């Protein structure tokens, strides 16, 4: 905010409740002037600290999936996920199993084939 320098000579501390309260109060004053709803302390903290809720949610889902796979491996209680998991954000979470198989004629997939143009070591 432009008013930071006038009110906080040392700069604004993002971890200071007093500084964040001041910013929230100023944001709420502007919100009233411009007809913006929903400005509260939590939103102010998220904006000032660049907190993106989707990142935390996605990290939690990926962590849960990793732990779930570890439990399955360690206990043998179920088959492991085979190559594919799909998270579709706000619409849904979908876990599908698509088994990918190597193509024996593929230069990338076939690990034991020699590329026709490769130099052979003697």
pLDDT tens figures, 12-57: 788 888 888 999 999 999 999 999 999 999 999 888 888 777 777 7
- Is residue 54 within 8 A of residue 89, CB to CB? The reply is yes
pLDDT tens figures, 90-122: 777 676 666 677 777 887 776 655 555 555 555
Average pLDDT over residues 69-96: 77
Q: pTM for this one? A: 0.44
From the list 41, 43, 6, 3, the residue with the least C-alpha distance to 21 is 41
The second-level CATH assignment, the architecture, of 4-48 is Orthogonal Bundle (1.10)
Cβ partners under 8 Å of residue 3, min gap 6: 26
Domain with CATH 1.10.10.520 in the chain: 4-48
């Amino acid at each position: 905010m432009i008013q930071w320098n006038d009110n906080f000579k040392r700069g604004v501390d993002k971890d200071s409740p007093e500084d964040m309260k001041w910013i929230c109060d100023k944001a709420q004053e502007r919100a009233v002037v411009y007809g913006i709803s929903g400005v509260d302390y939590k939103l102010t903290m998220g904006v000032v600290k660049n907190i993106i809720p989707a990142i935390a949610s996605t990290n939690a889902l990926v962590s849960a999936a990793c732990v779930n796979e570890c439990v399955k491996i360690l206990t043998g209680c179920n088959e492991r996920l085979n190559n594919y998991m799909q998270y579709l954000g706000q619409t849904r979470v979908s876990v599908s199993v698509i088994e990918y198989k190597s193509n024996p004629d593929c230069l990338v997939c076939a690990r034991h084939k020699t590329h026709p143009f490769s130099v052979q070591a003697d």
